[in-house]
Amino acid sequence: MTETDTGWQQRLASLITTLVDAGDLRSKEWIEAFTATPRHVFTPQVTLTTGQGYRQISGADPAEADEWLSMVYSDDSLVTQDKPHAAGHTLPGGQPLRVPTSSSTMPSLMARMLEALDVHDGQRVLEIGTGTGYNAALLSHCLGEANVVSIDLDPGLVEKAQQRLASLGYHPTLIAGDGATGAVEHGPYDRIIATAAVPEIPLSWIEQLAPGGKILANLRGDLAGGTLCLLAKDGLDDEVIGPILPIGGHFMWLRPEPDDPHRPHEHASAPQRGTISRTTTRVDPTGIPVDDEGFRFLLQLQLHGTRSLHLGPAFDPNIRDERKAVIVTAADGSHAEAFARPELDGTYQITQSGPRRLWDTVEATRSLFDDLNQPTPDKFGVVANDSTQFVWFGNDDNWHRWPLPLV
């Protein structure tokens, strides 16, 4: 017998104990589903990123079996498929940079999402993002395979997931197609769970949701990706509403092309021509909470298409050298740098370029962030229907609201 044949049960039991003790896994039904579902069946090979590049670890190699099982039954996300970066970027050693295109989500997050989904016997579930098939197996165990439909853009992933599920006796409906369109022919659905991120809620999901149904999805921008919203449909109206949950969850983008690891907005924007604007501010750039998840979430509501916000080195044309600055970029080519060292008069120098003055909005957002008492993402919620989608603060009648999408 191999290490895989004999070593996984104890590791799985230990993982489940960890999830239960942490409060991630609570209900009897989901504890039984996790106990009955061996994760290693769905992750026969994983990719590990190291300082020297990428390393693939396979359960088929006896020399790697113990390390592989330890990874599989850890509470970690595992990269199971990747593709070269579309721009041809390389690592410092010259190895092509690769972008993950499929993974097995960390078990604690899967457990929290499934618990939040609040499914009941006889309900029908659509999963957006089949991936390895592991989540579809958990759903099939809990609800029965006849009540589970799962769709993924990549036909190769769907085929492998189907084989792995069948090896455990599960035969849910799997579809190769665009998850944004849903699967109307098998609906309506009492629950829709998306393990792929979206910048707004696809209307097809709302239309395919049964009255009283719920959608659990990762509403994501490029600045703050870990926002899960749980939206409910009240009655026959094609509208869903609900809060952003205090559950961090960052998923890969739902993308339109199986062979391209990027969404269209992630491709490099065209450089913007024109004179760089220079101005000053009395706001200390180092006081901008660039790493605060709540501030980053609010900024991407205020400034759609923001690509990055960080403190780092920037070229100062005055001294013709680099110095520390807060740097913000957007998908339309807009760019701003706020230098951290004050001038003799106490002001800080700002450069801005492109079609939008990004720093002006960063400063305004910092003021609003403080006015709103520095809210975390779970202080917000979402309304989505066929004519409008927006994020609200506090409640859906509050004055503060921002239109979607986030990119």
Beta-bridge partner residues of 242 = 382
> Which pair of tokens denotes residue 331?
């998908």
Distance CA 84, CA 103 (A): 16
Mapping DSSP to helix (H, G, I), strand (E, B) and coil, where does residue 314 land? strand
- Between helix 293-302 and helix 358-371 the angle, nearest 10°, is 120
Strand order in the sheet with 98-104: 53-58, 45-50, 78-84, 98-104
- Of 112, 134, 114, which Cα lies nearest the Cα of 125? 114
- Candidate list 102, 103, 104, 140, residue with the active-site label: 104
Structure tokens belonging to residue 75: 């509470």
d(CA 307, CA 305): 6
405 preceded by cis ω (within 30°)?
Answer: yes
194 close to 172: Cβ distance less than 8 angstroms: no
**Residue 207 to residue 103: CA distance in whole angstroms:** 28
173: β partners = 149
Q: Residue 104 phi/psi, 5° resolution?
A: -105, 115
**3-state DSSP call for residue 154?**
coil
Phi-psi region of 144 (alpha: psi -120 to 50; beta: other; left: phi over 0): left
- Catalytic residue check, 277: no
Active site residues: 104
